[in-house]
């Protein structure tokens, strides 16, 4: 299977590249070679002759999305549409990554793939628009994967690292930390997610449409932070803070836990979030703690 991967320097893209097997011929051009915001430049995808195009690129800085909304829609929607058009033209499968932030958090039970999205901010709106763009442009070939709270070794350049690296930096500065206890999420390891994505695209019964892929279970960011320090035996007191879904002036869903119903029916399931966290932390050197 020949895979064209977009976003190789991100958390998920880096782990897809790492976890591909001998069955996968993964082509991963850099942004200087393939700019998804340049519609004409995208035409060169045809020359790669991929069986699958996986798009992990995104404009996901929430605050910047509010002020630079044209750029957010260019990356999260228009580029997704352009990629879907090309995949439709060459008969390739198209996989694009979406987010739990397409939901508004009204439920108190995990969201399924068929639940109605109600995004709260420009980021969520632009990602939802990208979902519609993919599924309407190439309905027989597009797979939209929603996920939540990603963390991986590659970190997230636009955010200055991932959630775990930031909490370890906090622990080096202080032995007391305030952390939000209002949002319930399902933090997801990109090593686990990358393997699940590769399983899904190889599954003979995986139809086009929307799939949720997250580590099993749910927690608040307060509970996740406490688990990080407990697993590493770091003596940091974590104080729960109820921010009512507001952080840095941004509205965030109070509940955005996703249910992996469709993938699970195909036998694709990610481990519990605590198990994934323990495995991830076991790979961190003492120099980073």
- Active-site residues: which are they? 123
DSSP string, 130-162: HHHHHHHHSTTTEEEEEE-SEE-TT--GGGTS-
Helix, strand, coil share (%) of the chain residues, nearest 5 = 40, 20, 40
Q: Is the dihedral of CA 69, 165, 155, 125 positive or negative?
A: negative
- CA torsion 225-184-193-9 (nearest 10°) is -70
Angstrom distance (rounded) from CA 95 to CA 145: 7
Angstrom distance (rounded) from CA 176 to CA 263: 40
Angstrom distance (rounded) from CA 197 to CA 64: 28
Report the interhelical angle of 163-173 vs 221-231 (nearest 10°): 70
Residues 181-213: b if buried by 16+ CB within 10 A, e if exposed:
bbbbbbbbbbbbbbbbbbbbbeeeebebebbbb
The token pair that represents 271 in the structure block = 């481990």
């Amino acid at each position: 299977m020949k895979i064209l991967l977009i976003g190789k320097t991100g958390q998920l893209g880096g782990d897809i590249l790492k976890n591909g097997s001998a069955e996968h011929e993964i082509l991963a051009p850099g942004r200087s070679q393939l700019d998804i915001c340049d519609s004409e430049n995208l035409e060169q995808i045809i020359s790669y002759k991929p069986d699958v195009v996986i798009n992990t690129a995104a404009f996901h800085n929430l605050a910047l999305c509010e002020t630079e909304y044209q750029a957010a829609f260019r990356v999260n929607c228009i580029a997704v549409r352009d990629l879907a058009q090309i995949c439709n033209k060459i008969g390739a499968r198209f996989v694009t990554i979406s987010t739990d932030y397409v939901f508004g958090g009204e439920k108190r039970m995990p969201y399924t793939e068929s639940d109605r999205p109600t995004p709260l901010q420009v980021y969520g709106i632009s990602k939802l628009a990208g979902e519609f763009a993919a599924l309407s442009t190439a309905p027989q070939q597009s797979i939209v994967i929603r996920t939540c709270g990603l963390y991986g070794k590659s970190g997230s350049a636009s955010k200055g690292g991932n959630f775990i690296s930031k909490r370890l930096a906090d622990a080096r500065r202080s032995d007391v930390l305030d952390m939000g206890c209002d949002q319930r999420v399902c933090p997801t390891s990109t090593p686990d997610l990358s393997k699940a994505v590769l399983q899904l695209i190889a599954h003979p019964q995986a139809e086009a449409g929307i799939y949720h892929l997250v580590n099993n279970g749910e927690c608040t960011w307060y509970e996740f932070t406490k688990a990080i320090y407990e697993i590493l035996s770091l003596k940091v007191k974590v104080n729960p803070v109820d921010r009512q879904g507001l952080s840095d002036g941004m509205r965030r869903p109070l509940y955005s836990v996703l249910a992996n119903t469709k993938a699970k029916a195909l036998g694709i399931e990610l481990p519990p979030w605590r198990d994934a966290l323990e495995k991830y932390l076991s790979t961190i050197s003492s120099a980073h703690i």
